[in-house]
Amino acid sequence: MKSIEDEIILDFETKSAQFNNFSEKMHILLKELLDQNKITYHSIAKRVKDKESLIKKIRNKKKYQNLDEITDIVGCRIITYFEDDVEKIVKIIGNAFKIDEQNSTDKKKILDPEKFGYLSYHIVCSINSDRAELVEYKKYKNIKFEIQIRTILQHAWAEIEHDIGYKSNIEVPRDFRRKFSRIAGMLEIADDEFSRLKNDINAYVKEIEEKGIEDTDINAESLRIFMEKSDVLKGIETFIKKNINSRELKLGNHLKMDAIHFILKLLYKFTNLKKINELENEILKDKTAIENFTVRWINNTPNDGTLFYGLVILYFILTHNIKMNNRDSVENLLNVLKGRSKNMKEYVELAFNTYE
């Protein structure tokens, strides 16, 4: 006669392919839910418990009578950057799935004096009734699965805690308990401060968008707004497009921010400008020179016909240094714009001649 453990394992082996398919579907669905709600996250991982882990769990718990009672055979882990995003994701999951409240845990409620560190949410859920009516989900409606949600700092703590091997405060040698508590406390404070910093930056961006960026220092956010909204830049770019045969480079928002960070570094390295209004005034003052130089340069030097994002500011930086007769800076900039070449000295001379 088969034992309960044997029956559970046999049932698990029979449904193994179904669990793997369900895990993949939940992974895709969670990505879609977070993307739709514009939640930025570090990673979403999925797993199906292996046979050895399942046997160990059954033997340790000594309480399971069938496979359906085990709620974490399929699991997903969402790692966010910020604590307040964890709370948003919990709400999204609450709306999208049927939650097993009895088997779910809230880290804020379960941390007690016998535990150190801080814990992630463990939410046990299943497909809700609306989704269970869909053909592609109907066969999974009775499967419960676990979603863990934690910040990247919480994840770091959990990984280190797991590696060290202590599960509660009483297991830690007395001499080291205070250190454990201090480190956990610092990480928890850091989580809160990072969330606060993010919110402060968002408030700053909203404020400068409403009040204007003219008297703002040049930073990634003020430069982004300037590049997106400046009529001066748009006017110069329109002139350039009309006078050259080229195609415009289309970039996603992530790549645009990479370009903005790159341009910001060049502004700080190759100019002395500190404020957005200083930058705009210098570009406006040299508008004609920037337009004429850029058109002649693109038309008279080898290129692939692509107009890159932020070219007006980049060519402003180049013409600004030509005007200041900073030959070393011009050569460094051309290395960036054209790629290193054995003919770089000729390019430098050509740049000065083109500006005249």
Most confident segment among 21-35, 111-125, 196-210? 21-35
In a domain, 78, yes or no: yes
Q: Which of 152, 174, 191 is the last residue of a domain?
A: 191
Identify the domain containing residue 283 by its residue range. 220-355
Does residue 125 register a pLDDT over 80?
A: yes
Q: What is the pLDDT of residue 270?
A: 94
Does residue 113 register a pLDDT over 50?
A: no
172 and 237 within one domain: no
In a domain, 199, yes or no: no
In a domain, 12, yes or no: yes
Does residue 19 register a pLDDT over 50?
A: yes
Q: What is the pLDDT of residue 95?
A: 93
330 and 271 within one domain: yes
In a domain, 55, yes or no: yes
The pLDDT tens digits for 193-205 are 999 999 998 898 8
- Written in H, E and C, the secondary structure of 274-317 is CEHHHHHHHHHHCHHHHHHHHHHHHHHCCCCCEECCCHHHHHHH
Q: What is the pLDDT of residue 116?
A: 45
When the pLDDT of each residue in the chain is averaged and rounded to a whole number, the result is 85
- Residues in CB range of 240: below 8 A, 6 or more apart: 291, 294, 295, 298, 307, 311, 312
54 and 175 within one domain: yes
179 and 96 within one domain: yes
Confidence of residue 181 (pLDDT cuts 50, 70, 90): confident
Q: Which of 154, 176, 191 is the last residue of a domain?
A: 191
Does residue 110 register a pLDDT over 50?
A: no
High-pLDDT (> 90) share of the chain, %: 44
Q: Describe the chain by its helix, strand, coil percentages, rounded to 5.
A: 65, 10, 25
59 and 106 within one domain: yes
Of the listed ranges 76-90, 120-134, 250-264, the least confidently predicted one is 250-264
Q: What is the pLDDT of residue 261?
A: 92
Of the listed ranges 3-7, 66-70, 299-303, 350-354, the least confidently predicted one is 299-303
Name the phi and psi angles at 42, rounded to 5.
-80, -45
115 and 63 within one domain: yes
Confidence of residue 111 (pLDDT cuts 50, 70, 90): very low
Q: For residues 279 and 266, is the Cβ–Cβ distance under 8 A?
A: no
The pLDDT tens digits for 303-313 are 655 667 888 99
What is the mean predicted confidence (pLDDT) over 242-250? 69
d(CA 240, CA 293): 10
237 and 185 within one domain: no
What is the mean predicted confidence (pLDDT) over 182-207? 88
In a domain, 74, yes or no: yes
182 and 237 within one domain: no
117 and 60 within one domain: yes
Q: What is the pLDDT of residue 39?
A: 93
247 and 290 within one domain: yes
Q: What is the pLDDT of residue 43?
A: 95
Confidence of residue 168 (pLDDT cuts 50, 70, 90): low
d(CA 285, CA 64): 78
307 and 256 within one domain: yes
Tell the residue number behind the tokens 């500011």, with chain if given: 313
d(CA 223, CA 71): 49
Give the residue with greater pLDDT, 129 vs 177.
Answer: 129
Indicate the number of domains in the chain: 2
Q: What is the pLDDT of residue 246?
A: 66
- Residues in CB range of 266: below 8 A, 6 or more apart: 314, 317, 333, 336
Does residue 81 register a pLDDT over 90?
A: yes
In a domain, 151, yes or no: yes
What is the mean predicted confidence (pLDDT) over 120-149? 91
d(CA 134, CA 325): 69
Does residue 123 register a pLDDT over 80?
A: yes
In a domain, 83, yes or no: yes
Q: Which of 151, 170, 191 is the last residue of a domain?
A: 191
Does residue 85 register a pLDDT over 70?
A: yes
Q: What is the CATH number of the domain that holds 128?
A: 3.30.460.10
d(CA 135, CA 290): 60
In a domain, 212, yes or no: no
Give the pTM. 0.73
The pLDDT tens digits for 45-60 are 999 999 898 888 888 8
d(CA 91, CA 88): 5
238 and 150 within one domain: no
